[in-house]
Amino acid sequence: MLRNITRIIGVALLATLPLAGTTAHAQTAPESEVGAVGQPPGSAGPVRGFVDAHSHLMANEAFGGSLICGKPFDLDGIEHALVDCPDHQPDGSLAWFENFTRHGTPVGKHDPVGWPTFKDWPAHDSLTHQQGYYKWLERAWRGGLRVFVNDLVANRQLCEIYPLKRNTCDEMATLKLEAQRNFELQDYIDAQSGGPGRGWFRVVKSTAEARQVIAAGKLAVVLGIETSEPFGCRQTWGIPHCTKAQIDRGLDEMYQIGVRSMFVCHKYDNALCGVRFDSGTTGVIVNLGNFLASGSFWNARTCTGPEHDNTIDPAGVLPPELAKWLPAGVGLPVYPPAPHCNTRGLTSLGAYMVQGMMKRGMIVELDHMSVKAAAQTLDLLESAKYPGVISSHSWADPSYFRRVYRLGGMVTAYGSPADSFTAGWRATKPLREEFGHPGYGYGLDTNGMGPLPGPRQGGAVTYPFTSLDGAVTLDRLRTGERVWDVNVDGVAHYGLVPDWIEDMRKYAGDAFAQDMLAGAEAYLTTWGGAEARRQT
């Protein structure tokens, strides 16, 4: 409570300071440049601009609060926001989780200094360093972003595994804290912009509110949830730890906070559904977490149909920090030949949750469900003719995209270099044309423990360049002493999203650009269809 009061006082005091951009403020408070000249246009008609349907701005509060290094904002300024984790000092050699997820070995080094030099981080392939600082997000908004889905994220088991923590591992408490931080950031930006309601970052709770915000030339921020045990719905040896009453209370509470999009399961099999596996080094860690969370490793069979989950790679060797969690005599399992399918699907409690989301007009996230669970979920949605469904970051089997588009749902793709991302756009374009759903988007998964798009071989962004809507001119972004170039750095952080999209425009042409500019409208149309089916 005391910390909350202190933050409220801090935001109020900030409103008395000179606004960003004045000489007095520049002298007393260093800040990242934005590298953009011009204002996003307001419009009362169909929205033109990008949608990011999946990112995690406040993930620094997740996993115990000590795994993601740096914050998206700090009341005391950028010098306090963009700093490395204490356990990464003095040279990164103790940052075993960063090293393991980035290089496949717990051994490694990096320069831990963030502001103002940023020698080694953020980087497109560094998974534990803050990539969503608010000034970087501002640049993306100025460069064409109009709808930003900020998924509140938590993972109890990963929190318990990681030895350092400053926050609780309780997932629902973590999600509430992250939601609070969103509104604190909104207040922080308001204070810099002249007062309540005047900032460019606006959390919205309906499509009508989103359209109003975008028409005023601001960014519509939608709250979502991606968590492994929603409402305490874990399972142990197949026994659920939640009830239908808990699910109803949880959905009501999250809806009241402002959440409008949600996953049913994520990473680990829970009491609601089986998951789509992770591959590679991350898969080894997540499979261990599945064992610790539920009492069993993933249970996979060799698929017999066209749909399949991600392949579980050979077990490899766990670093000592993780191996110690395995009971004596227990080793990582050996799996049958790929393609792999999770034997677990949607449970009766999972079906109840999907139905509860439909009653509330929420968007159902298909990603991270096993192919068995996803098929069962689509059956429920089709029976209700419910359009509120999305695959937001390439974690659903593409065989289901036809069913998603037929319902009126949307598919947005995980970020990757221009050649691979635009290949996904081309592959799905015939479905959008067939069902009359123009518009494409991305789910960058910022701060989501996955790499951002790396530099493309032959990348040819020329600076300065103009945003796709023609309203803003963007030059190389400078933060502190570091100057970023997407041709060299890839999407090292969120501020380089417009540069990445410009690279894709040059690679794929105007048809791609027009579909990206139609992405925000497509998302709002899908959300509006879900709202229309809400039972009041």
pLDDT digits (tens, 9 = 90+) for 207-260: 999 999 999 999 999 999 999 999 999 999 889 999 999 999 999 999 999 999
User: Do residue 125 and residue 267 come from a single domain?
Assistant: yes
Q: Mean per-residue pLDDT for 17-41? A: 67
Provide the residue range defining the domain that includes 493. 31-532
For the chain, what percent of residues have pLDDT higher than 90?
80
Give me the pLDDT at residue 315, please: 67
- CATH number of the domain bearing residue 491: 3.20.20.140
Residue type, 86: P
Q: Mean per-residue pLDDT for 163-168? A: 94
Give me the pLDDT at residue 324, please: 83
Using one digit for the tens of pLDDT, what is the confidence trace for 242-256? 999 999 999 999 999
Give me the pLDDT at residue 104, please: 78
Across 163-196, b (16+ Cβ under 10 Å) vs e yields: eeeebebebbebbbbbbebbebbbbbbbbbbeee
**For residues 140 and 498, is the Cβ–Cβ distance under 8 A?**
yes
DSSP, res 476: -
Using one digit for the tens of pLDDT, what is the confidence trace for 288-300? 889 988 889 999 9
User: Do residue 426 and residue 504 come from a single domain?
Assistant: yes
Weakest-pLDDT range from 23-27, 252-256, 261-265: 23-27
Write the secondary structure of 381-425 as one string of H (helix), E (strand) and C (coil).
HHHHCCCCEEECCCCCCHHHHHHHHHHCCEEEEECCCHHHHHHHH
Q: Is the pLDDT at 10 greater than 70, yes or no?
A: no
d(CA 196, CA 505): 37
Q: Is the pLDDT at 284 greater than 50, yes or no?
A: yes
Q: Mean per-residue pLDDT for 119-131? A: 96
Q: Is the pLDDT at 34 greater than 90, yes or no?
A: yes
Q: Which two tokens stand for residue 336?
A: 């049958």
Reported as a pLDDT band with limits 50, 70 and 90, residue 101 is confident
User: Do residue 168 and residue 285 come from a single domain?
Assistant: yes
Q: What is the mean pLDDT of the chain?
A: 92
User: Do residue 133 and residue 148 come from a single domain?
Assistant: yes
Q: Is the pLDDT at 125 greater than 50, yes or no?
A: yes
Give me the pLDDT at residue 96, please: 86
Give me the pLDDT at residue 6, please: 35
User: Do residue 9 and residue 49 come from a single domain?
Assistant: no
- Compute how many other C-beta atoms are within 10 angstroms of the C-beta atom of residue 12: 11
User: Do residue 15 and residue 147 come from a single domain?
Assistant: no
Q: How far is CA 146 from the centre of its chain?
A: 16
Local structure of 366: helix, strand or coil: coil
User: Do residue 22 and residue 97 come from a single domain?
Assistant: no
Q: Mean per-residue pLDDT for 141-163? A: 95
Give me the pLDDT at residue 28, please: 62
**For residues 12 and 4, is the Cβ–Cβ distance under 8 A?**
no
d(CA 68, CA 125): 14
Q: Is the pLDDT at 127 greater than 90, yes or no?
A: yes
Write the secondary structure of 14-39 as one string of H (helix), E (strand) and C (coil).
HCCCCCCCCHHHHHHCCCCCCCEECC
Using one digit for the tens of pLDDT, what is the confidence trace for 389-424? 999 999 999 999 999 999 999 999 999 999 999 999
Q: Is the pLDDT at 4 greater than 90, yes or no?
A: no
Sign of the four-CA dihedral 380, 358, 365, 373:
negative
User: Do residue 4 and residue 64 come from a single domain?
Assistant: no
Reported as a pLDDT band with limits 50, 70 and 90, residue 316 is low
Give the CA angle between residues 412, 413, 418 to the nearest 5°.
130
d(CA 8, CA 180): 11
**For residues 491 and 452, is the Cβ–Cβ distance under 8 A?**
yes
For the chain, what percent of residues have pLDDT higher than 70?
94
| Tally of structural domains, the chain | 2
**For residues 148 and 155, is the Cβ–Cβ distance under 8 A?**
no
Residue type, 51: V
More confident residue, 327 or 389: 389
Give me the pLDDT at residue 283, please: 86
Q: Mean per-residue pLDDT for 449-466? A: 93
**For residues 284 and 323, is the Cβ–Cβ distance under 8 A?**
no
Nearest to 507 by CA among 421, 446, 406: 421
- Find the distance separating the first CA and the last CA of the chain, reported in whole Å: 34
Give me the pLDDT at residue 107, please: 86
Question: Please, is 282 exposed, middle or buried when counting C-beta atoms within 10 Å of its C-beta (0-12, 13-18, 19+)?
Answer: middle
Give me the pLDDT at residue 5, please: 35
Q: Is the pLDDT at 378 greater than 60, yes or no?
A: yes
User: Do residue 1 and residue 69 come from a single domain?
Assistant: no
**For residues 461 and 499, is the Cβ–Cβ distance under 8 A?**
yes
Q: Which two tokens stand for residue 210?
A: 């989103």
User: Do residue 148 and residue 170 come from a single domain?
Assistant: yes
More confident residue, 12 or 480: 480
Give me the pLDDT at residue 145, please: 98
Give me the pLDDT at residue 27, please: 43
Give me the pLDDT at residue 331, please: 80
Give me the pLDDT at residue 15, please: 37
Q: Mean per-residue pLDDT for 6-23? A: 36
User: Do residue 5 and residue 71 come from a single domain?
Assistant: no
DSSP, res 346: B
Give me the pLDDT at residue 521, please: 97
User: Do residue 86 and residue 20 come from a single domain?
Assistant: no
Reported as a pLDDT band with limits 50, 70 and 90, residue 535 is confident
DSSP structure string for 416-465: --HHHHHHHHHHHHHHHHHHT----EEE--TTSSSPPP-PPTT----SSE
Give me the pLDDT at residue 325, please: 84
Q: Which two tokens stand for residue 155?
A: 């993972």
Q: Is the pLDDT at 22 greater than 80, yes or no?
A: no
* Partners of 52 in the β-ladder: 148, 442
